[in-house]
Amino acid sequence: MSVKERKDRERAARERLIVAAARELAEQQGWDAVTTRQLAERIEYSQPVLYSHFRGKREIIGAVALEGAAELAAAVRAATAGVDGPRERVAALARAYLDFAERNPAVYDAIFQLDGGLAYAQEDTPEPLKDAFAALMETLSEVAGNGIDPGLFTELFWASLHGLATLTRTGRLLDEYAEPRVELLVDRLAMV
Amino acid sequence: MSVKERKDRERAARERLIVAAARELAEQQGWDAVTTRQLAERIEYSQPVLYSHFRGKREIIGAVALEGAAELAAAVRAATAGVDGPRERVAALARAYLDFAERNPAVYDAIFQLDGGLAYAQEDTPEPLKDAFAALMETLSEVAGNGIDPGLFTELFWASLHGLATLTRTGRLLDEYAEPRVELLVDRLAMV
DNA sequence: TCGGATGTCTAGCGGTGCTAGGATCGATTC
DNA sequence: GAATCGATCCTAGCACCGCTAGACATCCGA
């Protein structure tokens, strides 16, 4: 059985290699440049190999999305962990979220813009996605306010962050307002 | 010169036909289905004709976006026109905006998600885009609050609406929270 | 050592956005 | 009214895309 185990290990390693290559290529040249041919060349295999790991390009995007969601959750938790006071925690969360989106635009797109064939807001939603939402809710439910469902509040706050992230990155908002926008968002939405 | 004028008229009519066909096809089957071949068949011309009107597919998307932005501005103004009280006006604006996004998903994407080769938040931003932002600001600047730049406030409110619109449509938010989300957004952001 | 399964590659399908070059049509001129 | 000439449009094709069938090699277990 040791042979099979070794092969499984090698397969898993190659799968990680594919996801890493897709992510790197997407961040470097955008998702349009992530073609099966480019990807195959980067991992030094032929294109059909990709299809022995994933059903198609969509699933590769989905894999990058799951990896990214886990990182986003970790980033949010790390940013809010040592912060005193609910208001400051929320502000730290907002900055960490927007910072992640800015530093990893392609990954952010994979999670929230592109079709990775993943289910959202359902029972069969993959764990990393649920956990990323949970990471937001941990800090945000403190400031939802009286009688407001924490899930509802988190959805709204998240949507605002998402709007800021996407509109900022596509150049649809003024750069100089970036920081005041976050301040205003936190001041108005969070009940401290 | 009458001949030239007639030809110009015919050209303009055909250009409108192309934009209308692109929009209709996008709403019916999504932007992926809007290929130059499909488009050419719908307008009953060959593909190269498209390129005598637009530099490429991107510019066709841009044309749909401009048309849509004008409609969005009109929809927002119409929805807020006869409403009494700033709070109710803002709520009407929010609902009108989200309603437009839901009813015209492909057009909304053309304006705010896809690359139509348009400039945003700059001097050379096309008039319809500036005007759509102006339409939002007309109602929103009333409730920006003391000492808050109306432009800044409008950007934030708009970003929140945009986040709600996009996340809702891609199934990333719970449907049953749709109305309370709007209520909460207006209650928290608008200073009445 | 050999048979067979497993894995990988080459080649190719139908599609995409876009363009070069020739044919055709129609307005203008004699 | 006929000829010319320019504008207009189409056919055909480029390089690329995601994806797959089938040949081939390679390595494992008997």
Query: For B13-24, how does the pLDDT look when each residue is reduced to its tens digit (9 = 90+)?
Result: 999 999 999 999
Residues B64 and B35 in one domain: no
Are B159 and A158 in contact (CB < 8 Å)?
no
**pLDDT > 70: what percent of chain B?**
98
User: To the nearest whole angstrom, how far is the Cα of B166 from the nearest Cα of chain A?
Assistant: 8
Interface residue B178 vs chain A (CB under 8 A): no
Residues A36 and A116 in one domain: no
Residue A126 Cα distances to A129, B40, B48, B163, angstroms = 6, 41, 45, 22
Number of independent structural domains in chain B = 2
pLDDT at B6 exceeding the cut of 90: no
* Amino acid sitting at position A99: D
pLDDT value at residue A7: 76
Nearest-by-CA chain A residue for B178: A152
Residues A39 and A121 in one domain: no
If pLDDT is split at 50, 70 and 90, which confidence band does B3 have? low
Residues B127 and B61 in one domain: yes
Are A188 and B188 in contact (CB < 8 Å)?
yes
pLDDT value at residue A13: 94
Q: Which nucleotides of C are covered by protein (CB under 7 A)?
A: 6-12, 15-21, 27-28
First and final CA of chain B: distance in angstroms?
Answer: 59
Are A173 and B155 in contact (CB < 8 Å)?
yes
User: Which CATH number belongs to the domain containing residue A99 in this structure?
Assistant: 1.10.357.10
Interface residue B120 vs chain A (CB under 8 A): yes
CA A33/CA A29 separation, integer angstroms? 6
Last residue of a domain, one of A53, A71, A93: A53
pLDDT value at residue A65: 98
Residues A48 and A62 in one domain: no
Number of Cβ within a 10 Å radius of residue A173: 23
* Containing structural domain, residue B154: 56-189
Residue B109: its chain A contacts at CB < 8 A? none
Average pLDDT over residues B78-92: 97
Residues B48 and B80 in one domain: no
Residues B61 and B39 in one domain: no
Residues A159 and A181 in one domain: yes
| DSSP type of residue B170 | T
How confident is the model over B138-184, as pLDDT tens digits? 999 999 999 999 999 999 999 999 999 999 999 999 999 999 999 99
pLDDT at B1 exceeding the cut of 60: no
Residues B67 and B121 in one domain: yes
Are B160 and A159 in contact (CB < 8 Å)?
yes
C1’ C6 / CA A104, Å: 38
Residues B105 and B48 in one domain: no
pLDDT value at residue B2: 66
User: Which CATH number belongs to the domain containing residue B41 in this structure?
Assistant: 1.10.10
pLDDT at B9 exceeding the cut of 90: no
Residues B18 and B85 in one domain: no
Residues A78 and A127 in one domain: yes
Show pLDDT as tens, one digit a residue, over chain A (192 residues). Answer: 466 677 778 899 999 999 999 999 999 999 999 999 999 999 999 999 999 999 999 999 999 999 999 999 999 999 999 999 999 999 999 999 999 999 999 999 999 999 999 999 899 999 999 999 999 999 999 999 999 999 999 999 999 999 999 999 999 999 999 999 999 999 999 998
